[in-house]
Structure 1
């Protein structure tokens, strides 16, 4: 049976799976729809595609041409196994910045406010955005790893390690995306791109993927070794090439879980406030 509008050219089926707005089923369905909306929008936006895919791939190629052989000669270690994981994380971070700028635009245009008036789960907007971030990081990682394979990167530790190496940037990226979401939903307008770019650049040039930790000044080595990006790089290096895995993996999990615990509630509150005032 169908419900017919005044115009017989359009018919709408009766709802068959009505759910309470606060139910877990509604959260999943509405988050999935929000995720699909964002992925479609990003795929059609040249700026997002350039920042999330092309820019990291070109950066990897540049690092390989300019510094790759020099670092390998000095350290005796294949630099590609540090550079590729580093650029994967850089792609995750810079893609989140573009997403946050778009989120601010949706707030200012009133789109978030219009979504808030719909009969949908109140957490679906943020959860769907994090789902989309996870998919974006996965696609970005696949592209960069493909470029890395062409430049000499290899997965040498088996199928399970290869699967796990793709999960590491997703963990890292979700924590970073929540932090950026908090900044994007602040009522006080801040230079979001500039602030996050400074942090991302510092992390990119002071980590164990850029050069080995021993190449930094002695007083700086503990900071470089234990910052979140270095932990994730060391984890992916061990999963690809072999070597100590437990310690960097546990540190990566601790950093990622800590970021989620620290920023999840402020991000949810900020997202709701942005929707109510947008």
Structure 2
């Protein structure tokens, strides 16, 4: 007489715990942020635009347009430096989407899926690490500006301005994260991002006063969310003034996160 032996189905590590607590999710997010930071250290070419762009754009715009727009370089710097910072950090936020798409194409997230970890951790960790990139761009651009004559008088407003631009760019990165999940290639993400970012930064009050713009373009520049961010940075850093543009910027950042973060997370969870 033979006995029938029932065997239990194999359980893979990722199936042992489907629900991860908040504390573990935060810990795993920090771990994935550290992984992304190590990746940046091992691929220094990713820092090329971050380290070089502040020097090139600051010198180029200051010495090419300073005399024509403000009558001199030093007079133009209070207007220019905040614009260069906002332009650089907003452009850098698009890297979130391209790197996310590259990781998904190379199968990195398939390996993460086999681990007993929160599926949102790789996405949240990547967005957290990108804030370091924003801080570096902000700090370097301010340093270059001070070397050529910029003297901000905002006191603590300078720090608030830096935090404001980093928080705003972090919120914008959720748009590119959603695009990175949905797009087919990293090149598509980068191309679409530049098509959006370039008009937003140049059809604004970044490099010229809106009063000098044609009548049909002036309302576009004045209502441009990038103009609100740049104006808020200028008022905080140069004069220490917390104006209405700070509130408009914070409101815009909150709306972006409220709309695009759930969409990006939902799309990412389906892929992961």
The runs of at least 4 consecutive aligned structure 1 residues that moved more than 4 Å come to 187-190
Distance (whole Å) between structure 2 residues aligned to residue 91 and residue 266 of structure 1:
25
- Whether 1:132 and 2:129 are equivalent positions in the alignment is yes
Q: What does residue 170 of structure 1 align with?
A: 166
Distance (whole Å) between structure 1 residues aligned to residue 33 and residue 205 of structure 2:
33
Correspondence for 2:103 among 103, 106, 115 = 106
CA offsets, 1:150-209, max 9 Å, x none?
A: 122223122x21220111111221122111111111055572212111222112211112
Unpaired stretches in structure 2, ≥5 consecutive residues = 1-16
CA offsets, 1:211-264, max 9 Å, x none?
A: 111111122222212212111110110012228632110111111111111110
CA RMSD in angstroms comes to 2.3
Q: CA deviation at 1:36?
A: 1.1
Q: CA deviation at 1:50?
A: 1.2
Q: Please give the residue correspondences for 1:115-264 in structure 2 after superposition, counting only pairs within 5 Å.
A: 115-158=112-155, 160-186=156-182, 188-189=184-185, 191-242=188-239, 245-264=242-261
Does the CA contact (< 8 Å) of 1:231 and 1:248 recur in 2? yes
**How many equivalent residue pairs?**
255
- Whether 1:31 and 2:29 are equivalent positions in the alignment is yes
Does the CA contact (< 8 Å) of 1:51 and 1:94 recur in 2? no
Q: What does residue 56 of structure 1 align with?
A: 54
Distance (whole Å) between structure 2 residues aligned to residue 36 and residue 69 of structure 1:
45
Distance (whole Å) between structure 1 residues aligned to residue 136 and residue 146 of structure 2:
15
Distance (whole Å) between structure 2 residues aligned to residue 241 and residue 227 of structure 1:
21
Distance (whole Å) between structure 2 residues aligned to residue 133 and residue 46 of structure 1:
15
For the structure 1 residues 163 and 60, does the alpha-carbon distance in structure 2 shift closer, same or farther, using more than 3 Å as the test? same
For the structure 1 residues 44 and 94, does the alpha-carbon distance in structure 2 shift closer, same or farther, using more than 3 Å as the test? farther
CA offsets, 1:16-38, max 9 Å, x none?
A: xxx99521211221111111111
For the structure 1 residues 245 and 220, does the alpha-carbon distance in structure 2 shift closer, same or farther, using more than 3 Å as the test? farther
